[in-house]
Each structure stands twice: as structure tokens, then as C-alpha cells.
Amino acid sequence: MKMVSAAKLKKAEATTLKFVPYKTKLSEALTNYLSSVKESVNIPLAEHREVRKVALMAFSSNSGLCGVYNSNINKLFKVIYDEYAAQIGAENILIYTVGKKINDYMKRVGLPVEKHYHELSEKPSYDSACEISDMFVDMFLKGEVDKVELIFNHYKNTGVQIPQREAVLPLSTDIETANDSKASLDYIVEPSKEEFVNELVPKVLRTNFYSTMLDAFTAEHGARTTAMHIASDNAETLSQELKILYNKARQEVITNELIDIVGGAEALNG
């Protein structure tokens, strides 16, 4: 199981590393363009309004044997849920789950799930990310939700997965960190600035969703690889301890048999 998890981790890492530069450059393109525009641009998906209804999507695995990967997500979700429940009421929180374990947790605590994505935990795909992203975009534009947050484990390395939350809607258009040299460029876009930006924004959101799926997927296999490595070490230690106990018991049996033989021989000689 350790070897299988390590192989899956290597593949997931490779996919994530290939996709991250694309996501980064796409986000930079939007940020740099917005920083170069002097007048304000109307971006409906970046509209920050009073949060009256929120959608939470939590990512877990479909199976166990991955250490505290799933329990960390359960704990973080509970904290975030309680936070929003106190602010806007539990009835205004929409829950979406990816993975069997988080869905089982919702059943145990009695929380209703709007939609469950069982297969995405094992096979994240860009098409699925686009479908989910477009669904949330449509809900946001219709005013059905005012904020969308993702709850997942961020992959730092094989031994470290960090539970975190990320607000994907409304889209952050922070331009303070934009490079000055890039911000001074004069971009020419057609047919209009609003159409260009609002065509680019959904693409940025889709890449963000897919990037999160890949991140959670990689973190799961990192956690499972570590858990299986620890299990293998523990099994080896247990095997050695049992071997010592077995040898001691065997030696005791042999010693007792020798004592009986010697005692019998002494009795015959007497």
C-alpha cells in the first residue's frame, strides 16, 4: 500500500506542478491588466456585498488509512460552519462535499448536503472543475449566495498537509502586489475592457477550482504515503518484538523438556 500510494503521489505531484504555472500566469495576467487600467472596471464576480448566504465546499478522501487527513478537514469545517452559523444562521449555509469521508461526517452530525461529488476525490478533472465553478458563478450572479469558500488540505510536502480555507467568490482583485514595471504597460484589448475582463475572470475561477482539487488530491496521497510508511515501520518493530517473544517461549519449552529428561534419567539411576 505504501508503494502504491507513493506512485500515485508522484503522479499527482507531477500533474500539480505542471498546472500551477498556468494558474499563476493567468491570475497575473488579470491582476497586471487591472493595475494598468486607470478607470474602474465593472466586474460582477468581484463584487463584495454583505454576506447573507454562503456556500461551503469541503474536500476529503473516499477511504481511510491516511492519518489525520480527514479528521483535520472535519475539525476545520466545524469551526468555519459554527462561525457562519453564529453570523447568518445555519439555514443560510449551503454545504457541498467532495469525498465519502466528509459526507459521512455530515451524516453523523446531521447537516444537510446540497450536492455530493463522490468521484472527484479519486479522479479530479478540469471538466468537473469547470462545471462546479460555473455552477457557483451562476449562483453568485443570481444572488443565491454572497460568498463561496473551499475547505481542503494544502500539500506542502509528503509529511505535511495544512488544512486551510480559501474564498473563491467574490474574486479577489488585489492589485497592490502588482509589479510596477508590468503595471505601467499599456494594454490594448478588444472589443472592450469590460468584456475582456469578464471573459477572463471565469477562466481564472475555473483554474482556481481545478488547482484546489489537485492540491487536495496530492495532499491525500502525501498523507497516505506517510501513514503507510509509519505503519510499515510499526509492523517491522512489532514483528521483531513478536519474534523475540516467540524465541523466548520456544527456549522455555526446550529448557523444560531438558529438565524433564534429566530428571527422568536421574530417577532411573537412583
- Reported as a single tens digit per residue, the pLDDT across 250-270 is 888 888 888 888 877 777 776
Q: What is the pLDDT of residue 22?
A: 87
Cα 30 from chain centre:
25
0.85 exceeded by the pTM?
Answer: no
Question: Per the structure block, which three cell numbers stand in for 54?
Answer: 454562503
CA distance 220 to 6: 11
Compute the average pLDDT of residues 43-69. 89
* Under 8 Å between Cβ of 93 and 56: yes
The answer, yes or no, to whether residue 154 has pLDDT greater than 50, is: yes
Euclidean distance between CA atoms 129 and 209, whole angstroms: 6
Predicted local distance difference test score (pLDDT) of residue 270: 60
Q: How do residues 63-97 score in pLDDT, each as one tens digit? A: 888 888 899 999 999 999 999 999 999 999 999 99
Q: How far apart are CA 144 and CA 97, in angstroms?
A: 18
Record: fold of 2-228? Pyruvate Kinase; Chain: A, domain 1 (3.40.1380)
pLDDT tens digits, one per residue of 220-231? 888 888 877 776
Residue 55's pLDDT is 95
Cα of 49 vs its chain's centroid, Å: 27
The answer to whether residue 177 scores a pLDDT higher than 50 is no
Q: How far is CA 235 from CA 7, 55, 152, 228, 248, in A?
A: 21, 43, 30, 10, 20
Cβ atoms of 70 and 108 within 8 Å: the answer is: no
Average pLDDT score over residue span 7-30 = 85
Q: How far is CA 220 from CA 18, 102, 146, 268, in A?
A: 18, 13, 30, 71
Q: What percent of the chain has pLDDT over 70?
A: 92
What is the average pLDDT across 103-118? 92
| More confident of the two residues 175 and 20 | 20
Question: What pLDDT is recorded for position 181?
Answer: 47
Q: Which residues make beta-bridge pairs with 59?
A: 98
Q: Determine the pLDDT at residue 87.
A: 93
The pLDDT score that the predictor gives to residue 119 is 82
Domain boundaries, the chain: 2-228
Phi then psi for residue 184, to 5 deg, are -85, -5
